[in-house]
Amino acid sequence: MTDAIVVLVTTPSADKAAELARTLVEENLAACGNILPALRSIYRWEGKVHDEPEALLILKTRASLFDALRERIVALHPYQVPEVLRLDVAGGHLPYLEWIRDNTRPSP
């Protein structure tokens, strides 16, 4: 197991995903954000089934920064209940894992 994690965040548009990614990277809460711009989400919200276009933001960061990252996403996100899912990274290319560590702020 490593300290690296992947965080998934759905957004209403690729532009909103880019705005979130830029802020989180500038604040050193994430080393990188990848945006998948064409996503279709079918979900239940407030008793109704919705079918909406969305974008997926994939963030790479440290596990020790997850709480701060989640709080910042929730503060910036336009959704009332944003998706913020943490996926622990069991292993990976060591130089890339070190790059994530080196490009995020030290643990609080």
Per-residue pLDDT of 50-102, as tens digits, reads: 999 999 999 999 999 999 999 999 999 999 999 999 999 999 999 999 999 99
Residue 107 has pLDDT above 70, yes or no: no
Residue 105 has pLDDT above 90, yes or no: no
State the CATH class of domain 4-102.
Answer: alpha beta
Question: Which three-class secondary structure state does DSSP give residue 103?
Answer: coil
pLDDT for the residue 48: 98
pLDDT for the residue 97: 96
Residue 108 has pLDDT above 70, yes or no: no
* Whether the Cβ atoms of residue 55 and residue 11 lie closer than 8 Å to each other: yes
* Whether the Cβ atoms of residue 97 and residue 4 lie closer than 8 Å to each other: yes
pLDDT for the residue 2: 84
Alpha carbons within 13 A on the beta-carbon side of 52: 13
The DSSP call for residue 64 is G
Per-residue pLDDT of 13-55, as tens digits, reads: 999 999 999 999 999 999 999 999 999 999 999 999 999 999 9
Domain residue extents for the chain: 4-102
Q: Round to whole Å and give the CA distance between 62 and 82.
A: 20
Question: Which three-class secondary structure state does DSSP give residue 42?
Answer: strand
